[in-house]
Structure 1
Amino acid sequence: MKILAISGSGRRASTNSAILRAMSSIVRADHQVTVFDRIGDLPIFSPDLESFPLPKAVQELVRLVGQNDGLIIASPEYVKAIPSGLKNAIDWLGHVDKRPIRSA
């Protein structure tokens, strides 16, 4: 089973990212965990950017989501909500249509 683990934190020294990396090192041999800890690399979602080709960082996230069987999100809580970077990633994933991703 392939699992994508998304860190909702933009901090380089994020505890959430560290937990996901630790988890990826202890899974069973028949499982693979890929950690996506580059939330801060995604451009701010805008419908104006939804045309193809998508921004490279968005292409990477969409590709990873499509290649995995499951998703785990580890995220801090800010002001009783999810961080804006994670919300932005969810916005991108929710608005990207099903056309194949093409390289820029």
Structure 2
Amino acid sequence: MSQHNVTIEVANRRLKIACPKGKESALLQSANEINRRLEKDKKSTKTPEQAMLMVALNLANDLLDSQNAAKQQLQEMQNKIDLLQETIEQAVNPKKKA
């Protein structure tokens, strides 16, 4: 996938970022999310570096929460699939009662 540079603004700094073609919108949305979180946390932090660190930690936490939720949903779906397969097998191949 070819890449090109996209200019974004994060924490009042313009940055040129290498970005795969077709992912520009996602990159811009990510920058907007960081800026939104920085603005929200601005009052509770003392330095810009501390604010960026807090945003990074919160984003990492959100990512881990989402990954764990996805794993749990996947396991629940697999349990339902297993139950459906068992039910179908019992319906198709009923055991003879002695």
Shorter-normalised TM range: 0.3 to 0.5
Indicate the structure whose relative CO is greater, using CA pairs within 8 Å and at least 6 residues apart: 1
Q: TM-score, normalised by structure 2?
A: 0.34
Q: TM-score, normalised by structure 1?
A: 0.32
Structure with the higher helix share, 1 or 2: 2
Structure whose alpha-carbon radius of gyration is higher: 2
